Chains A and B, each alone.
Chain A
Amino acid sequence: MSIGIKVSRQGYDVHTASDKQLAFTSEWPLLPIEAEGTFDITTSSSYDEDITTHNLGYVPVFMIWVETSSKKYCVGSAFPYNIYATTTKLHIADTAFDTGTIHYKIFRRPLLTEYDAGNLISTDATEKDSGDLGLIVSLPGEDVSSTDKRDFGVRSDMRQLMIHKTGYFDNSTNGANVTHNLGYKPMYWFYTENTFYNPAGAYSIQSQTDDFIISATDTTLTYTFYGYPWLQHAYLIFKDPLNEAG
């Protein structure tokens, strides 16, 4: 008999909820935040320095946001700061095009991990429950009765980022199909070992650009890199759809 935990999102019957209607489960991981912080940048200033030292011994999954003029942007092709992670550091090597603050989160998960959670229940539940039961876990030192939801690690009345599949491809290919079989187009994060600009073993967030295309179907996630030489890429696929609220 297997032992585990399965917690549905508020309003879904845990017996019939589909995988993406869960808040979390012992069947697959979430993204634990190991570290977070900020790094101030000034217009036209050049940087080649460590943002932080993590010393995890592996290249971690990380995410970046950029705050400027009191607006906090998610990063992408329009704000392409060259920020990369190595097995020990998060590093910036770029010239700031605006004054602002970089916000980072480093997750306790190796980026270069082949993992496939598989699919357990793919059909969404239509029957809703009363939503009067659930599970909340406060962070160390925080009161479980707090009204500030930042004081909690996980909550069943909220969505968590559940990992469906992760992996990576070496530079022997300029693209690949990743079969996920989720039945919907999934959310993803991509990373690149950009040896054009950065040291080997350093990974930066990869957005869709003119030379990097990402497409998704209900069964497959596909990427194609049109540059040369080819580069190594890593990805995360989440149990969360791109084309519906989910």
Chain B
Amino acid sequence: MASISTEDDKIFRVSISGEDVHTSEPEDFSVHSGFDYPKMEESFVGIVEYTCPASTAANVYTVLEVTHNLGYKPNCQAFVEDVNNVTPTQFATLPFLDGYTGNRFAAYTTDTKFIIEYVVLTPGIFPPVFPSQDFKFKYQIWVND
């Protein structure tokens, strides 16, 4: 296995409340210096609101572009709120695909940027769903790659 942990490292260990700090179980620590953790810069976490274009022509629109210049492709995650403009409590993780049109939101990183894109495919037999609808995205760009 491509393990990256060092279980026997004892430089810095903080057990979870109620657990013995001398425990040998890594699951019982809140922080353990032998492990890496997902983490993200404050400036690489945010919210963006977006109104989809009215056009239904096939295209790729940029919802958000963040320059990170890390020199590698960091991991990322993003969520979209109000996926159908009817039930505003609904959320989805990106990429999110509309099952009828194939239109989708996706998030990715390159060596320099984080992008959220809105992909409009050529309309099929179903009417488009996303045009002119409002969406809100939460994104995180991790330091980890």
- B4–A158 contact, CB under 8 A? no
Report whether A33 and B35 are in contact in the complex, using a CB–CB cutoff of 8 Å: yes
- Tell me whether B81 and A242 are in contact (CB under 8 A): yes
B residues near A245, Cβ cutoff 8 Å: 45-47, 138
Chain B neighbourhood of A207, CB < 8 A = 92-93, 96
B1 contacts which of A54, A74, A103, A155 (Cβ < 8 Å)? Answer: A54
* B110 → chain A closest CB, angstroms: 6
**Contact, CB under 8 Å: B31 / A214:** no
**Which A residues, 11 to 32, have Cβ-Cβ distances below 8 Å to chain B?**
24-32
CA distance A244 to B107 in the complex (A): 18
Closest beta carbon of chain B to A33's beta carbon, Å? 5
- The answer to whether A97 has its CB under 8 Å from any CB of chain B is no
| A72 touching B109, Cβ below 8 Å | yes
Answer whether A29 and B2 are a contact pair too, CB < 8 Å, given A72-B75, A74-B76, A214-B90.
no
CB of B9 to closest CB in A, whole Å:
5
Known contacts: A52-B2, A242-B81. The answer to whether A140 contacts B33 by CB under 8 A is yes
Of the candidates A36, A73, A108, A209, the one whose C-beta lies within 8 Å of that of B27 is A108
Residues of the A chain whose Cβ atoms lie less than 8 Å from the Cβ of B17: 2, 4, 26-27
Kindly identify which residue among A34, A158, A244 contacts B143, using a CB–CB cutoff of 8 Å.
A158
Interface bits A105-118 vs B (CB < 8 Å: 1, else 0): 11011100000000
Residue with the highest number of chain B CB atoms closer than 10 Å, among A32, A185, A217, A245: A32
B89 contacts partner chain A, Cβ-Cβ < 8 Å? yes
* B-binding segment of A146-154, A194-202, A225-233: A146-154
Give the distance in Å from the alpha carbon of A53 to the alpha carbon of B41 in the complex: 31
Contact between chains at B94 and A74 (CB < 8 Å): yes
The answer for the CA separation of A54 and B89 in the assembled complex, in Å, is 37
- B residues near A (Cβ < 8 Å) are 1-6, 9, 11-12, 14-17, 26-27, 29-42, 45-47, 73-79, 81, 83, 87, 89-97, 99, 104, 106-111, 115, 136, 138, 140, 143-145
